[in-house]
């Protein structure tokens, strides 16, 4: 079973090779936090809500939590020019926004509802790079994660490695409190490492992991350490 112990009130950048399972890794974390009773906000920039919710259900995340301890903010639809206010299956509880400013507005509103620290996921900054200059994405990351860690909780933000300007990625790494890297090794096995975590001592070694089906009592896919 996948376990994490990230501190609250911090920003974590997840770097991943395309296809390695960035989304699945995040969903494994989402399920763990929800199982522990922690409120989760998921900002989708790369998936339509119906696809994201379908993936969540396959990970065993109950849709009964939607709008209670699980909140989905949809920015992807606006990037596609989709003006529909609702999609089938989201029960009208997905928060749709039309600009980047709407992300922090909704996060602040959710925090006022919960009145406790949030775990805030964003997938993925790579989509923003397609629609904006690198300077805009860097500014968004700096301002949003700074506010989240000072007021609202933990930001866990993903970006694909090897497809963007190296200078921009290095800047993101410098801005984050912690960095997790996911990649394939020479034999195409999935491995990860905690590159750094501010204020903590981390081993920095590559650790094998896999995305595999669970047992009979948990048929949904889970992230597993080897």
34-52 pLDDT tens trace: 999 999 999 999 999 999 9
- For residue 120, the cross-strand partners are 41, 155
DSSP-derived 3-state class of residue 82 = coil
Tell whether 5 is covered by a domain: no
Tell whether 108 is covered by a domain: yes
CA-to-CA distance for 39 and 20, rounded, in angstroms? 26
Per-residue pLDDT of the chain (226 residues; tens, 9 = 90+): 455 667 889 999 999 999 999 999 999 999 999 999 999 999 999 999 999 999 999 999 999 999 999 999 999 999 988 655 555 556 579 999 999 999 999 999 999 999 999 999 999 999 999 999 999 999 999 999 999 999 999 999 999 998 899 999 999 999 999 999 999 999 999 999 999 998 888 888 999 988 864 444 444 333 443 3
List all residues 6 or more positions away from 4 whose beta carbon is below 8 Å from its beta carbon: 29, 32
Tell whether 166 is covered by a domain: yes
Give all strands (DSSP E) within 80-189, no chain letters.
95-96, 118-123, 153-160, 178-184
Cβ neighbours around 178 below 10 Å, total: 22
Q: Could you tell me the residue range of the domain that residue 130 belongs to?
A: 11-225
Tell whether 159 is covered by a domain: yes
Pairing verdict, β 40-44 and 11-16: unpaired
Strands of the 153-160 sheet, one edge to the other: 95-96, 70-74, 40-44, 118-123, 153-160, 11-16, 178-184, 190-197, 207-213, 221-225
Angle, nearest 10°, between helix axes 49-58 and 22-35? 60
Tell whether 37 is covered by a domain: yes
Pairing verdict, β 207-213 and 190-197: antiparallel
Tell whether 3 is covered by a domain: no
Tell whether 197 is covered by a domain: yes
**In this structure, what CATH number is given to the domain that contains residue 214?**
3.40.50.300
Q: pLDDT value at position 81?
A: 84
Structural domain count, the chain: 1
Tell whether 156 is covered by a domain: yes
């Amino acid at each position: 079973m996948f376990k994490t112990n990230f501190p609250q009130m911090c920003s974590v950048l997840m770097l991943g090779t395309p296809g390695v399972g960035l989304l699945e890794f995040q969903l494994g974390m989402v399920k763990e936090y929800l199982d522990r009773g922690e409120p989760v906000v998921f900002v989708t920039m790369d998936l339509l809500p119906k696809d994201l919710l379908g993936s969540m259900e396959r990970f065993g995340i109950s849709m009964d939590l939607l709008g209670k301890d699980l909140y989905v903010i949809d920015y992807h639809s606006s990037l596609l020019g989709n003006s529909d206010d609702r999609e089938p299956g989201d029960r009208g509880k997905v928060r749709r926004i039309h600009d980047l400013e709407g992300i922090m507005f909704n996060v602040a509103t959710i925090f006022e509802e919960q009145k406790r620290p949030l775990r805030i996921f964003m997938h993925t900054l790579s989509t923003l790079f397609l629609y904006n200059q690198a300077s805009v994405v860097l500014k968004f990351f700096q301002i949003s994660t700074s506010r989240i860690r000072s007021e609202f909780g933990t930001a866990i933000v993903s970006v694909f490695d090897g497809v963007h300007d190296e200078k921009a990625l290095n800047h993101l790494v410098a801005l984050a409190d912690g960095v997790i890297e996911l990649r394939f090794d020479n034999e195409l096995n999935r491995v990860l490492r905690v590159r750094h975590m501010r204020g903590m001592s981390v081993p920095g070694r590559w650790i094998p992991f896999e995305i595999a089906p669970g047992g009979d009592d948990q048929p949904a896919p889970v992230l597993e350490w080897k």
